[in-house]
Amino acid sequence: MMNKSMLKGLPQLQMRVDMMYPRWHYVKAHQLSYKESLAIINDPLELIHSNVFGHLKKPLVGVLWYMATFINDYSRHVRVYFMKETSETLAFKEFKETVAAKIGKKIKCLQTYNGGEYISQEFTKYL
């Protein structure tokens, strides 16, 4: 597309043949490791990471388009909840009650990327 000037506003760049790789190079590519976390987690439920994924290409059970994950930083145990809408992030409530009863401790910190589902009025009110 660049060679045929099909994209307006794109500067004319020179493509070097030695910079182009066959598709299999990308499959074999490795990601650099992340820096080691400075956080020291000593107890279960001290830090929980959470994220919401979706809209899935195909719904589960015909109606579940989203997933919420909860990862215990201490044990790396993962729980996944399937949802119809992202607004159902109060799956956290179910997660919190389940793990608190099982472990006998309360969640101290919930770490998210501050997506809208975690800063909604309903979620904030629950917290």
Identify the CATH class of 47-126. Answer: alpha beta
pLDDT on residue 40: 78
The beta-carbon contacts of 50-57 under 8 Å, at least 24 apart in sequence, are 50/92, 50/110, 50/111, 50/112, 50/118, 51/112, 51/113, 51/115, 52/83, 52/86, 52/89, 52/115, 52/117, 52/118, 54/83, 54/86
Residues of the chain below pLDDT 50: 19-20, 24-25
pLDDT on residue 62: 73
Question: pTM of the full predicted structure?
Answer: 0.64
pLDDT on residue 125: 83
Query: Does residue 106 contact residue 70 with C-beta atoms inside 8 Å?
Result: no
pLDDT on residue 93: 87
pLDDT on residue 2: 60
